[in-house]
A = this chain, B = another copy of it.
Amino acid sequence: MNLGTRRMDLKAILSGDRLALSRLLTQIEKDSEQGRQALNELFPHTGKAHLVGVTGAPGTGKSSLTNQLAKHYRNPPDGPARSVAVVAVDPSSPFSGGAVLGDRIRMQDLAGDPGVFIRSMATRGSLGGLATATAGLVQGLDAAGYEIILIETVGAGQAEVEVAKLAHTTIVVEAPGLGDDVQAIKAGILEIADILVLNKADRPGVEAAERALRGMLNLGHPIERVFNHHGRRAEIEVPHEESPTDKLWLPPLIRTVSTEGQGVPELAQAITEHRAFLETSGELQRRERARLESEVHDLLQKAMMNRWRQDTSDERYQRTLEQIAARKLSPRQAVAQLLNGSAPQ
């Protein structure tokens, strides 16, 4: 594909051509030279979308909630419809192919809407590669003019922290009765929640789950921590201002029944309020900066690794690996040697 064709594609993407956008996203995911070039040229058009992460363990119904949120933005009871893109990074998401039939059917009404664009990510390869590719997809969709970009990931371990870095607003979805040790994992995930959703709120155990979550929210909140955890003050993020209430966001807990759409308007309202908070508090710029810095970090690492690979013979690399396997050299000693004899930090 020559330069002329590519330029034309970009123009098409910027004017809302879905097929052109779809092709671009494929190039971005493949990390092709064409995709990279396009991202460079589209970058000045980014920064307008509101990026909303939706994360939660399998079984919380976060895909169905994402679906309902998208529908809500297309038909809001108050104000104009907004265009929505969904990026599904979760292998269990019905958006990304692993759906039970019911979920797929519930999603049909979104599929025909020209104001909705759904894209799923392959989750193979390294998390670093995944984060870079997702950042690229989101930039493509942002440039194409989607106002709300919902990024859905499975929430456990490290992946959702990477999403939180990518999103302006992070929604953590929980559900009652997911198993004995689910409670324990929440403490870590709660730290990244801007909005906490208790989905499947029509199920038994919802009261107990809400109590537990509220307990953890209180522990997790910076001000509460200062007063509650004596002697651990050094580990605490203390607000800069003396009067921090106007600068702080207290994550609301919202009950939803996503299969019925119940609680979804309230969730959309909370997202709007969080956006307003981000803008007035200066937190938006801080998050944008952190997000871009994290992307630069990933790209730097990748570029340096590629450059090193080009400069190093495969034979030398293989010989070194053999010395490690024979326990003649530790991995760290090998790295120092591979980087031309100087000691790595």
Residues of A within 8 A of B (CB): 36, 39-40, 43-44, 46-47, 57-61, 63, 90-94, 98-100, 102-103, 123, 126-128, 130, 135, 153-159, 162, 175, 178-185, 187-188, 285, 288-289, 292-293, 295-297, 299-308, 310, 320-321, 324-325, 327-336, 338-339, 344-345
Contact = CB atoms under 8 A, between A and B. Distances in A.
Contacts of A336: 303
A158 B121 CA distance: 13
B100 A183 contact: yes
A43 B327 contact: yes
Interface centre among A302, A320, A321, A335 (most CB of B within 10 A): A335
A1 B180 CA distance: 44
Question: Chain A interface secondary structure, helix, strand, loop or mixed?
Answer: helix
A159 B295 CA distance: 20
Given A158-B126, A185-B91, A185-B98, A304 B308 contact: yes
A332 B299 contact: yes
| Copies of this chain in its oligomeric complex | 2
Contacts of A36: 332
Nearest to A47: B327
A155 to B, nearest CB: 8
23 contacts: A39-B330, A40-B330, A43-B329, A44-B327, A47-B327, A58-B178, A58-B181, A58-B182, A58-B185, A59-B181, A59-B182, A61-B180, A93-B181, A94-B181, A103-B181, A123-B157, A292-B324, A296-B324, A296-B331, A297-B305, A299-B335, A304-B304, A304-B308
Contacts of A154: 156-157, 185
A300 B178 CA distance: 40
A288 B324 CA distance: 10
Given A181-B103, A304-B304, A156 B157 contact: yes
A155 B91 CA distance: 12
Contact of A46 (B92, B184, B327): B327
